[in-house]
Structure 1
Amino acid sequence: MIVAAGMVGPPLSVHFKTGLASGLAPAELKGILLQASAFAGFPRAVAAADQLNRLFDEAAIVSPPPPTPREVALAFCEQVRNGKSAIPLSAAIKRLLRRSLRLSIQATTASTVIVECFDDEPSLPAALLHIQVQGTQIVSVTRFIAR
């Protein structure tokens, strides 16, 4: 709404800073502006992007920011499903990712991602994976049986 209203000064900066302080990854803010461009118009999104770049400069965050934890986890899951893994994993986790028909991936903090692994029953996951992400690296993967 702030972008659509054209208020790209202090009001937007406050919300960007609050988002970062609340655990949003810098790339998630970038994603918000990408969505804003479709709904608020490209000129207003560009003005907001300039405000975001100033915030990144002040906070010494590289621009464009690195991928979000969700994007890192998604790429990791696809690598494992294709028979490759950047870190050692248990056979059970590899098997779970390869056999799952569908994955639902949600970032819960700026460094934690939960992956729901669905098999034949679409409403209940067979298991959950708790993935810790640091930058662009997967630090740990923990499996929890859901049923």
Structure 2
Amino acid sequence: MADIFVWLISFFILIALIVLVIYQLMCLADLEFDYINPYDSSSRINQVVLPEYIVVGVLCGFYLVTGHWIMSLFCAPYLYYNVRLYRRGNHLVDVTEIFNLLPKEKKQRLFKLFYLVFILFLSLFWMIYTSLDDHDD
């Protein structure tokens, strides 16, 4: 029963991550269609970048602590990519270069979104499998 709660917590963390990435994509789309100026768009995106990175680290650590090694390994490339961006100083969106880097930033966030949806489906699968396995005992 405790394992189901672990999967539920990870499910809600993944939903929060997906919401953060979709918010960033919406800000980039608003900028692309000229609904928002570059300064507001970059400041809104930069406000949620570090919380996204922290939540990914917490999720990966949560999987490690709870003993879900496979899911932790699936989260590791995403965490590594975020750490690499942070260490290089490329994690924030520059207001002066946002129009030049708009396609790259959108592709980066779309890839993150698809990766998170993949991890979400794996998490849902393991949650359902665990709940069915608990009913058999």
Q: Normalising by structure 2, report the TM-score.
A: 0.28
The structure richer in strand per residue is 1
Q: Which of 1 and 2 has greater Rg?
A: 1
The structure richer in helix per residue is 2
Higher relative contact order (CA 8 A, sep 6+): 2
